[in-house]
Structure 1
């Protein structure tokens, strides 16, 4: 779903279809000061700084809140950079419907 290793999945923090993964160092790119970014239309990421990578949003000391209130907030378990990963989405089976996030 998130295209991560088993080790990253085990260490990551999940909120619905979002996975927060600790990064080893500072990602490449310009650090944009800011406090909030929205991912997957329903997840608000608050952080000290953001870097938009080609595949992921990177956040410094992030916390993630679900705008519909369907999930508890999640917080980085350590200081530093984390990637905010949105799960791959596919078309549901013809007998099912998407109910939430």
Structure 2
């Protein structure tokens, strides 16, 4: 239940309705095909938690950032796709989510 409350702030964007954003991210990341994008607002607790978590594990999977949001993409990069799927998918069923939540609430 806590996971669902936290991760509801990771919004899976409709690619058809966000083509301009897709184009911008493709140019910035040099990715030819984006299969999914999720957005996290910088005013949410999830933003604070994710930035602290990524610093802790020593990675930066953020694909694009603007004034108000972070964007993570699902493309052909297996490592980033795994992070995307394990944090956003499954409402708490993944080991990465478990590790993330244990770190945050320790």
The question of a shared fold, defined as TM-score above 0.5 by the shorter chain, is answered with no
Structure with a larger share of its residues in strand: 1
Normalised-by-shorter TM-score class: under 0.3
Alignment TM-score, normalising by the size of structure 2: 0.27
Alignment TM-score, normalising by the size of structure 1: 0.27
Higher relative contact order (CA 8 A, sep 6+): 1
